[in-house]
């Protein structure tokens, strides 16, 4: 997600590991215009820092200090996802995945909602693009 513009890019994957992270990096990199280098702000999850990752040439990874989730604008997206899944039961994992996918599509179409939740403290990203 881009805090200033509210644009998003998401994949719903069944696991959070190095292989899934590689799929995301490759997919995100391929979605960018050819003249753009994107800066991704990440926490210290092991799959974010794995030496097995191959970072595409048009991406730069920047890692937050340990125990500082409040610095990561992406952390403020979780409530927007939870509000469509909290206190509900789903028939199976496919039903949950469908609800999350619908919400991700909705967020893509409502960049103003994303930006208002993530562009805090004058978070400026355009200087890095």
Q: What's the pLDDT tens digit per position in 73-126?
A: 777 778 888 888 999 999 999 999 999 999 888 888 888 877 777 676 655 554
| Distance of alpha carbon 80 from alpha carbon 91, whole angstroms | 22
Question: Of the ranges 12-21, 27-36, 88-97, 118-127, which one carries the lowest mean pLDDT score?
Answer: 118-127
Q: Is residue 5 part of a domain?
A: no
Q: Is residue 76 part of a domain?
A: yes
pLDDT digits (tens, 9 = 90+) for 39-58: 998 988 899 999 999 999 99
Counting the structural domains of the chain, the total is 1
The phi and psi torsions of 109 (rounded to 5 degrees) equal: -85, -10
Q: Is residue 11 part of a domain?
A: no
Residue 2 has pLDDT above 80, yes or no: no
8 contacts 40 by C-beta, under 8 angstroms = no
Q: Is residue 112 part of a domain?
A: yes
Q: Is residue 44 part of a domain?
A: yes
Q: Is residue 89 part of a domain?
A: yes
| Distance of alpha carbon 129 from alpha carbon 18, whole angstroms | 25
Range of the domain at 69: 18-124
Q: Is residue 10 part of a domain?
A: no
**Residue 129: pLDDT band with limits 50, 70, 90:** very low
Q: Is residue 4 part of a domain?
A: no
């Amino acid at each position: 997600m881009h805090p200033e513009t509210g644009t998003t890019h998401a994949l719903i994957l069944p696991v959070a590991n190095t292989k899934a992270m590689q799929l995301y990096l490759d997919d995100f990199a391929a979605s960018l215009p050819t003249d753009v280098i994107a800066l991704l702000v990440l926490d210290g999850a092991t799959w974010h820092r794995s030496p097995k990752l191959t970072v595409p040439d048009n991406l730069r990874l920047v890692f937050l200090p340990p125990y500082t989730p409040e610095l990561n604008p992406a952390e403020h997206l979780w409530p927007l996802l939870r509000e469509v899944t909290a206190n509900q039961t789903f028939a199976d994992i496919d039903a949950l995945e469908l609800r999350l996918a619908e919400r991700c599509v909705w967020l893509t179409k409502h960049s103003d909602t994303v930006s208002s939740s993530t562009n805090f403290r004058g978070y400026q990203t355009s200087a890095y693009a």
